[in-house]
């Protein structure tokens, strides 16, 4: 893959320019979609108003929280086996999810009038954010890049997924187990829907966690995915639409502090919360297939890690060393080590995320 071919225009961008471009583009798209279906911009029952409220609120709150994190010495520890260029980021405050996620949840509850489905996805988002916070706190406490054990993290993810699925099974209509496919096709899964739903929550949160490895990457791609998903489910689930819009806006507001060069990282607190939010909306709306399409970039990041580890083990020789399929996993690090700058990686990934959302909207709307 020729980096110059795909990133020639991205080379001239700065972190600030890229975040401003994303904010403007998503705001225009939200306004255009609201106009297309005749929603009133002066109310909060649309895409634009929750998006803007969360974006402004998240950006402003960051000016208070980020300096506080610096005073608390909540600096990130950078793993030595990662790209060497990232070592200079050591000490950058992490745990940024503690300010942009609550802003989004507050706006979502306000805009939806406290709808039951909104409260449920907010609770699940907080639960997964709490798992991430525990992990981030352990990293800071131990002063290393190792948080809670993978087994403990997985157990907590599965536990909260079971609770959420049990609530959904008891409270949602029977047709929630029908999987919406392209061109108006619905696939009834029955009880098989629930293990798929639980797997989706765990897999999605881990995928967003892996994607959060470059300044502005998860914040921007998450904002695009959430707004696209909100537009897709808007006709049937307006309360979940405003939740997605609020989460999208909060991500954009967070980019005001996370754009390259980042002044704060979202940490597991933010990345696990975003994955949980996307999965919860997908489950309640019955659009798990659309979720797969919209978040295919995050899936690719996960697959790159699985493929790298599997290939390394399969090619391990007598010396105990194997071959690598990618220069480094997750995938964004492969492109970095191939000569792309962080801004080039982020720019191209934003474009891919936008194309995936457009694909889902055109085939599943």
Annotation: binding site for Mg(2+): 209, 268
Nearest to 111 by CA among 62, 52, 61: 52
Annotated binding-site ranges: 209, 268
Query: Where in the chain does DSSP place strands (E)?
Result: 178-181, 185-188
Distance CA 155, CA 209 (A): 16
| Terminal alpha carbon distance of the chain | 33
Q: CA Rg, the chain, in Å?
A: 20
- Between the alpha carbon of residue 66 and those of residues 9, 209, 233, the distances in Å are 31, 21, 34
- Of all residues in the chain, what percent are helix, strand and coil, respectively (each to 5)? 75, 5, 25
| DSSP codes, 243-294 | HHHHHHHHHHHHHHHHSSSPS---HHHHHHHHHHHHHHHHHHHT-HHHHHHH
Q: Which residue has the tokens 């187990």?
A: 177
Q: Which pair of tokens denotes residue 286?
A: 């019955």
DSSP class of residue 327? S
Beta-ladder partners of 181: 185
The C-alpha angle with vertex 238 and arms to 235 and 242, in degrees rounded to 5, equals: 130
The answer to whether the beta carbons of residues 117 and 124 sit under 8 Å apart is: no
Contact 243, 118 (CB under 8 A): yes
A 10 A CB-CB count for 325 gives 16
CA contacts within 13 A on the Cβ side of 64: 7
């Amino acid at each position: 893959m020729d980096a110059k071919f795909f990133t020639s225009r991205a080379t001239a961008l700065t972190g600030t320019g890229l975040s401003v471009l994303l904010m403007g583009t998503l705001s225009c798209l939200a306004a255009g979609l609201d106009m297309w279906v005749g929603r009133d911009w002066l109310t909060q029952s649309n895409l634009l108003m929750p998006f803007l409220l969360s974006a402004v609120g998240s950006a402003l709150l960051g000016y208070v929280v980020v300096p506080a994190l610096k005073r608390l010495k909540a600096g990130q520890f950078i793993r030595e086996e990662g790209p060497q260029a990232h070592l200079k980021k050591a000490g950058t405050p992490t745990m940024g999810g503690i300010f942009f996620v609550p802003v989004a949840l507050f706006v979502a509850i306000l805009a939806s009038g406290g709808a039951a489905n909104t409260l449920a996805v907010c609770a699940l988002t907080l639960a997964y954010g709490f798992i991430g916070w525990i992990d981030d706190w352990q990293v800071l406490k131990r002063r290393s890049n190792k948080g809670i054990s993978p087994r403990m993290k997985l157990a907590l993810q599965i536990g909260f997924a079971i609770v959420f699925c049990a609530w959904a099974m008891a409270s949602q209509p029977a047709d929630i187990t029908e999987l919406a496919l392209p061109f108006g096709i619905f696939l009834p899964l029955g009880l098989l829907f629930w293990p798929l739903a639980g797997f989706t929550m765990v897999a999605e949160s881990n995928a967003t966690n892996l994607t959060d490895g470059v300044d502005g990457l998860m914040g921007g791609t998450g904002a695009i995915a959430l707004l696209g998903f909100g537009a897709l489910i808007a006709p049937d689930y307006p309360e979940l639409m405003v939740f997605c819009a609020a989460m999208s806006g909060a991500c954009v507001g967070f980019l005001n502090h996370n754009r390259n060069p980042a002044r704060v990282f979202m940490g597991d607190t933010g990345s696990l919360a975003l994955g949980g939010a996307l999965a919860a909306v997908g489950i309640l709306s019955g659009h798990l297939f659309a979720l797969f399409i919209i978040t295919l970039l995050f899936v690719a990041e996960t697959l790159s890690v699985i493929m790298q580890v599997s290939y390394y083990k399969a090619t391990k020789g007598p010396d105990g060393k194997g071959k690598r399929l990618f220069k480094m996993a997750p995938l964004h690090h492969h492109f970095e080590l191939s000569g792309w700058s962080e801004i080039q990686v982020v720019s191209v990934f934003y474009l891919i995320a936008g194309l995936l959302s457009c694909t889902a909207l055109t085939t599943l709307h």
